[in-house]
Amino acid sequence: MAARKARHRYDPLDHRMMARAIALARRGEGHVEPNPMVGCVIVRNRRSIGEGYHRRFGGPHAEIEALLACTRDPQGATVYVSLEPCCHHGKTPPCTDALIAARVARVVVAARDPNPVVRGRGIRRLRTAGIDVETGVLEGEAAEVLAPYATRVRLYRPFVIAKWAQSLDGKLATRTGHSQWISCEASRRRVHRLRARVDAILVGCGTVLADDPLLTARGV
């Protein structure tokens, strides 16, 4: 059975809770790769009773973290997860099995897993167990977080981030070349967060000769 696509007429609560799940997913940045960053929120009677995210590579997935964090029985609850729950045994057991065992009533998924090992099978497994599954809530926002993972499993290549700083008039440095930074403090913090999550940094020989940059991740 094909996954039911989003009709974009969700309860505002669906958007709010999925936005929270995606925000939680970002907390795994730099710690879970090459796994995807995933967040999960569990709601019962329109109140969050548990939330979690994938914290580290090889560790429990977001759904398990959220189930363990529940302050009430999740039976009959709605689960919001930014990526389709896994249905296979890897470093951890299938999240679909845990959700079925918890007797949740509904699972709302932002994005399907592009990994051929999963790709729709998690959704079908939940539906077969009688759980209502909806997909596509804030899919675009989730896809942005999942881009490095999706690039690896779909295209079999690294996810590349192109970064440069320039002034409003298109300059990269002052005329003398003595400017240390032309970017602001906020953008420099962002650069260090990006460095912390990547496996390699490539710069041109001109940058090395002129600046001899450390290329380290500081303050993260």
Give pLDDT tens digits for 46-86: 999 999 999 999 999 999 999 999 999 999 999 999 999 99
Which residue, of 102, 137, 155, is where some domain finishes? 155
Is residue 145 within 8 Å of residue 82, measured between CB atoms?
Answer: yes
Q: Is pLDDT of 205 > 80?
A: yes
Residues 188 and 116 in one domain: no
Of 155, 173, 193, which one is at a domain's C-terminal end?
155
Please tell me whether residues 75 and 143 are part of one structural domain: yes
Instruction: Say yes or no: 73 and 119 in one domain.
Output: yes
Please indicate, yes or no, if residue 3 is contained in any of the structural domains.
no
Residue that terminates a domain, selected from 155, 187, 210: 155
Reported confidence tier of residue 193, pLDDT bands at 50, 70, 90: confident
Closest CA to 117 of 86, 156, 92: 86
Q: How many domains does the chain have?
A: 2
Same domain, 91 and 50: yes
Instruction: Look up the CATH number of the domain holding residue 99.
Output: 3.40.140.10
Domain identity same for 178 and 106: no
% the chain with pLDDT above 70 = 94
Tokens for 158, please give them: 């690294």
Q: Comparing 21-25, 79-83, 89-93, which segment has the lowest mean pLDDT? A: 89-93
Q: Is the pLDDT of residue 180 over 80?
A: no
Q: Is the pLDDT of residue 8 over 70?
A: no
Asked if residue 205 and residue 150 are part of one domain, the reply reads no
Q: Name the pLDDT band for 9 (thresholds 50, 70, 90).
A: low
Mean pLDDT computed over 1-16: 66
The span from the CA of 40 to the CA of 25, in Å, is 8
Angle ∠(94,85,74) on CA atoms, nearest 5: 85
d(CA 47, CA 45): 6
Question: Do 64 and 42 share a domain, yes or no?
Answer: yes
Q: Which domain holds residue 168?
A: 161-220
Give the percent of the chain with pLDDT over 90. Answer: 64
Residue 150 and residue 168 in one domain: no
Mean pLDDT of the chain: 90
Is residue 5 assigned to a domain? no
How high is the pLDDT of residue 139? Answer: 97
18 and 127 housed in the same domain? yes
Catalytic residues: 63
Identify the band that residue 219 occupies on the pLDDT scale cut at 50, 70 and 90. confident
pTM of the shown model: 0.84
Pick the more confident residue, 172 or 31: 31
Predicted pLDDT at 87: 94
pLDDT (0 to 100) of residue 179: 66
Least confident of 14-18, 25-29, 180-184: 180-184
Which band of pLDDT confidence, cut at 50, 70 and 90, is reported for residue 172? Answer: confident
Residue-wise pLDDT for 135-155, tens only, equals 999 999 999 999 999 999 999
Cα-Cα-Cα-Cα torsion 18, 28, 185, 191, nearest 10 degrees, comes to -110
d(CA 2, CA 4): 6
Residue 113 C-alpha from the chain's centroid: 11
